[in-house]
Amino acid sequence: MAKNLSVLARQFSTSTANHALVRAPVQVFGIEGRYATALYSAASKQKALDAVEKDLTSFVDVLKKDGRLADFLYDPSIKVALKNQGLGGVADKLKMNPLSKNLLLAVAENNRFSFIPAISTAFSTIMAGHRGEVVCEVTTAKALDAGMAKEVEGALGAFLKKGEKALITYKVDPAIVGGMVVSIGDKFCDMSMATKLNKYSELLKAAA
């Protein structure tokens, strides 16, 4: 897999002068992370990072809104060659950067269409690191008011290095009951009431 992705990164780049991979500012994992990292390396060399990020986001938006396109790509009865042709047409219509188009075709060639949204997310995570942003996600049982959100932002700031900026996403999940679940980059902290209750329940069962 690593060898194939190294080759893929070189295929993304039109320059044959330098095949060394450009190191991503943050690590992203899984198959989607490997594609995103290879794409970041190629786009960095060609100074096309912003264009590629915009392309991927636009394509995922189209995929969400156009049910026919999604059905076409995910239908196992349709030949990969035909899907490649369709993807190429969509990329041309969206006026995508050649690197973005090549990424879609490379994913299609391996019949991994379902990974496209995850690759886009992974690439955005890398780009956040490139811009000095740290992706943070705060999940609470109820929506936070402005005052509480400001307190959370201040607390998260203590975990950041000089020059870094928190890119915070707030989510609501009643299942956590109370408290909050926080992720800061690759760090994760579960302070939810649901988790505490589960721990207490396990302790009580062990003591019975």
Q: How far apart, in whole angstroms, are the C-alpha atoms of residue 39 and residue 98? A: 11
Listed residue (28, 44, 36) closest to 5, CA to CA: 36
Dihedral sign computed on CA atoms, order 23, 27, 32, 34: positive
Residues of the chain with pLDDT under 50: 1-7, 10, 13-17
| Cα→Cα distances 160→133, 157, 180, 185, 194, Å | 9, 5, 19, 10, 27
Euclidean distance between CA atoms 60 and 43, whole angstroms: 19
CB atoms within 10 A of CB 121: 17
Q: Which token pair is 72?
A: 């076409």
pLDDT of residue 18: 55
Residues 36 and 122: their CA atoms lie apart, in Å, by 6
Count CB atoms within 10 A of the CB of residue 147: 8
Dist. CA 48–CA 50, nearest whole Å: 6
pLDDT of residue 12: 53
Residue 19 is predicted with a pLDDT of 60
Task: Decide yes or no: CATH 2.70.98.50 for domain 2-128.
Answer: no
So what's the pLDDT on residue 25?
85
Q: Give the separation between CA 21 and CA 41, rounded to whole angstroms.
A: 6
Q: What is the dihedral angle through the alpha carbons of 63, 67, 70, 72, rounded to the nearest 10 degrees? A: -140
Instruction: Provide DSSP, 157-205.
Output: HTTSPTT-EEEEEEEE-GGG-SEEEEEETTEEEEEEHHHHHHHHHHHHH
